[in-house]
Amino acid sequence: MKLILLGAPGAGKGTQAEMLSAHYSIPAISTGNIIREALKKGTEMGLKAKSFIDAGQLVPDNVVIGIIQERLTLDDCKNGFILDGFPRTIPQAEALDAMGIEIDKVVDIEVPDELIAGRMAGRRVCEKCGASYHLEHKQPEEEGVCDQCGGKLVQRKDDHPDTVLDRLRVYHEQTEPLKDYYAKTGKLRIVEGQDEVEHTSALTLKAVEDLSLIHISEPTRP
C-alpha cells in the first residue's frame, strides 16, 4: 500500500499517518523528519540540504526530491509507505510520478482554517525525533517529554499564532491544487476531519480501504 496524505498544516496528517503506519505495518514518511535523518546520517542529499540550511535558505525541490528518493529505496518501504507532507506542489508531484512510483490512494483531510488555528496553538513536537503531540488531544505520558525517545517537547515557530495564517495562505496557493491533480487519476479520497481523532481515523481507514467512496464526512457507527 503506497499512500499520500494531503491536508493543510494542522489538519492531523501526522496523527493519521501514525495510525495507518501501525495498521498496515508500513513506514510513515514525514518530509521534515527524513531531512533531519539525512542530515544526521550525512547522506549525499543530506549534505546538500545542510549547505542550504547552514546558509539560511530553503532546501530546494531537487534536494527534497532526492532525499525522498533515497528514503523510498530502503527495505522497510518494500511493502509500501505513507507520505506525509510530500508532495507539496504540482512540480513535486510530477517528480514523484517521474520516479515510476505507483501511488495507490491519496487521502485529503479537510478541516476549516479557523479550527486549524486553534489546533496548531496546542501542538507540541519532540525536538529530538519529531514525534507530534497536542496539549488537549494527544498528551504525552509525562508532561513535556516525548513518549518515544524521551526528548523535550517544544512549540515550533511555524505553530505560533502569528505564522499560522501565512502557512495556511501558502497551503491554499501551492498545495491545495494537488487535489485536482490527483482527482484526475481517480485516486483522491476526501475525508472531513472530525472533532474526535478516533472518528477521523475511522473515516481515513475507510477511505483507504473502500474503493467506491470519494467524499467521506460521517464517522463510522458501531
In angstroms and rounded to an integer, the radius of gyration of the C-alpha atoms of the chain is: 17
167 catalytic, yes or no?
yes
- The yes-or-no answer on residue 124 being catalytic is no
> Is 88 among the catalytic positions?
yes
The catalytic residue among 13, 105, 124, 189 is 13
Angle at 216 between CA 212 and CA 222, to 5 degrees: 95
Name the active-site residue from 123, 124, 138, 189: 123
DSSP at 42 = T
Is residue 160 within 8 Å of 173, Cβ to Cβ? no
| Catalytic residue selected from 2, 50, 128, 167 | 167
Query: What single DSSP character describes residue 169?
Result: H
The whole-angstrom distance between residue 111's C-alpha and the CA centroid of its chain comes to 14
The one catalytic residue among 2, 50, 128, 156: 156
Helix residue ranges, H only, the chain:
13-24, 31-41, 44-54, 61-72, 90-98, 113-121, 161-170, 178-183, 197-209
Which of 36, 88, 179, 206 does the annotation list as catalytic? 88
Active-site annotation holds for 123: yes
156 is catalytic: yes
The C-alpha cell of 8 is what?
Answer: 493543510
Specify the residue for cell string 523535550: 152
Active-site residue list: 13, 88, 123, 156, 167
